[in-house]
Amino acid sequence: MGVAGSFPGFAGRPPGPVMDRDEADRALARLGAEHEAIETSLLALQDHAGRRLLEGADLTGVTKERWASAEQSIALLWGYFDAYAGALASAREIRARRRYPGRDDLAALTELLRGDAVTVANTGAAGPAPALAPVRLSERFTLEELVARMNDLYAHSLDMVVASDSVWSALPARIDLLAAELRRTRSLAHSVGVRPGEHPAGDDLESITQELTTLRVQVISDPLAFWMPGPGSAAPGGGRPDTTRYDRAARALEDVRREIEAVLAVRQDAEQRLVQLRDLLSRADRTLAEARSARGEVLAKIAASEVPAVSGPATALQERLATASEYRRHAQWNRLSPLLDSLEREAEDELLRARESLTSVTAPLAVRAELRGRLDAYRAKVARHGLAEEPLLIERYDAARRMLWSAPCDLRVAGQAVLRYQQAAAELLTPRDRGEYGEQGETS
């Protein structure tokens, strides 16, 4: 709606000097344009889709209260408009009497166009009167004051209508789309055994269903409860729909959908994962069996050595693996998924423990093998230098070899014997090495 220009000095006071003909004609033209703008705005409000929806809706809460007030404001708007149109028609009639109006006509025009000559019945729509104040049966306005009053009522009514229409245009359709996605997810969840009372995701789906049903009912009956006015915005409908609850439900459904997809993935590769688990546990059992066999060998062949005990097979994991197979057989994918995840972690740990047990049990055998290798390496070295038949080396080699190739082997004593052989070989090789270096120096 347009707003008429202000006339300072005339509100509630005498209209001032009588207008001349040109001033009266300009005022009539301006107020006529204002009349057309007001009428266009009122008709647009009357035909607004939001207003028609409000008239036919079963409203509750804040929307019901504000619509009751808005209906009174709209009715009052038309009353004001009729009074405005009547005053304007009277002014046009006076102006049409003569091409050159006399002073009486100009005075009458001045009173109508600038004075508080418009009387409107007081319907009480503007709010209750103060306590003990006299009740006025009518109010008098200038045309400019009437326009200002209509603009104010129009803005508040349009704001309420536009806000309601914005919420109805945005939220119900989005809720319906989310509800359709929810139905698809529920069907998929049911196919993989995710049901309320049996799986947390099933309980979440039930909760989301109830929330969307309640949310849609509340949005339809009380749209203004889901409206957030824009900060500092004076324009009608300034703000946006409050989608907090909708967004929360959408995020919850997305979380459930991802969980259902994880369960579906379990269904697709469950057999392969079970085969891999059986292989892991079988390898762990074989490794433990090898460790137990090696422990017996170490105890028989190595003396004075602490050999750690070897645990038995992972019977508890085997039992849980059998349970997982039962879950797969009965299509209990929601139970199988977390069980497979934990079994895979624990089976890997079991294989790692079995390998560590084998390593720790066979450590004495590894030490013996290292000593044997070191002894043979030094023997080959002295043989290259022609010292293999040295009596001291033969004696110490034979002593070390008897210790390393007899059972049970005392690794500590055998290690000392190998060290003595190394020391003897080193003492015999040092002068020869120096002689070889000297000959090379003379040759060079």
- Quick: pLDDT tens for 284-328: 999 988 888 888 888 877 875 677 788 877 888 889 999 988 888
My answer on whether 377 and 325 are in the same domain is no
Does the residue 53 lie in any domain?
yes
Is position 216 within any domain?
yes
Phi, psi of 243 (to 5 degrees): -105, 20
Q: How confident is the model at residue 130 (pLDDT cuts 50, 70, 90)?
A: very low
**Whether residue 443 has pLDDT greater than 50:** no
Asked whether residue 248 falls in the same domain as residue 315, the answer is no
Of the chain, the percentage scoring pLDDT greater than 90 comes to 23
Structural domain count of the chain: 4
Task: State whether 158 and 44 are in the same domain.
Answer: yes
Which whole number is the average pLDDT over 243-271? 88
Range 386-408 average pLDDT? 84
Same domain, 252 and 274: no
pLDDT of residue 173: 93
CA quadruple 8, 9, 10, 12: dihedral positive or negative? positive
Residues 75 and 47 in one domain: yes
CA 370, CA 328: separation in Å to the nearest integer? 50
Percent composition of the chain: helix, strand, coil (DSSP 3-state, to 5): 75, 5, 20
Please answer whether residues 209 and 186 qualify as being in contact, where contact means their C-beta atoms are separated by less than 8 angstroms. yes
What are the beta bridge partners of residue 229?
Answer: 239
The reply to whether 66 and 146 lie within a common domain is: yes
Token pair of 285 as six digits: 């059992």
pLDDT surpasses 60 at 238: yes
| Torsion sign, CA atoms 373, 378, 383, 389 | negative
Looking at the fold, whether 155 and 289 belong to one and the same domain comes out as no
- Please report whether residue 419 resides in a domain: yes
Most confidently modeled range among 2-6, 8-12, 54-58, 88-92: 54-58
pLDDT at 137: 66
Of 361, 381, 410, the residue at which a domain comes to its end is 361
Q: Same domain for 157 and 178? A: no
pLDDT at 343 over 80: yes
Q: Is residue 183 part of a domain?
A: yes
pLDDT digits (tens, 9 = 90+) for 167-201: 999 999 999 999 999 999 999 888 777 788 877 88
Q: Cβ distance 126 to 203 under 8 Å?
A: no
* Shared-domain flag, residues 276 and 179: no
Query: Quick one: pLDDT at residue 438?
Result: 46
CA dist., res. 31 & res. 14, Å (int)? 20
Q: Which domain holds residue 287?
A: 269-361
pLDDT for 209 = 95
**Mean pLDDT, all residues of the chain:** 82
Residue 234 inside a domain? The answer is: no
Does residue 442 have a pLDDT over 50? Answer: no
pLDDT the model gives residue 181 = 94
Task: Please tell me the distance from the alpha carbon of residue 262 to that of residue 192, in angstroms, as a whole number.
Answer: 11
Of the residues 336, 361, 386, the one at which a domain ends: 361
Who has greater pLDDT, 255 or 136? Answer: 255
Give the model's pLDDT for residue 180.
Answer: 95
Kindly state the percentage of the chain with pLDDT values over 70.
88
Q: How confident is the model at residue 131 (pLDDT cuts 50, 70, 90)?
A: very low
Residues 193 and 318 grouped into a single domain? no
Assess whether 255 and 285 both reside in one domain: no
Question: What is the Cα–Cα distance from 59 to 57, expressed in whole angstroms?
Answer: 6
Instruction: Centre a 10 Å sphere on the Cβ of residue 57 and count the other Cβ atoms it contains.
Output: 17
pLDDT tens across 410-429, in order?
888 888 888 998 888 888 87
pLDDT digits (tens, 9 = 90+) for 35-78: 888 888 889 888 888 889 898 889 999 999 999 999 898 888 88
Assess contact for 108 and 97: CB atoms under 8 A.
Answer: no
Does residue 16 fall inside a structural domain?
A: no
DSSP annotation of 231:
T
**DSSP conformation class of 115:** S
Q: 3-state SS string over 407-432?
A: CCEEHHHHHHHHHHHHHHHHHHHHHH
Whether 172 is covered by a domain: the verdict is: yes
Split at pLDDT 50, 70, 90, the class of 385 is confident
Say which residue, 246 or 327, is predicted with more confidence: 246
Summarize the confidence of residues 351-368 as an average pLDDT. Answer: 87
pTM above 0.75, yes or no: no
Of 361, 387, 414, the one marking the end of a domain is 361
Closest CA to 168 of 44, 249, 50: 50
Residues 329 and 431 in one domain: no
Confidence of residue 212 (pLDDT cuts 50, 70, 90): very high
The reported pLDDT for the residue numbered 437 is 45
Q: Is 7 a domain residue?
A: no
Q: What is the mean pLDDT of residues 131-154?
A: 74
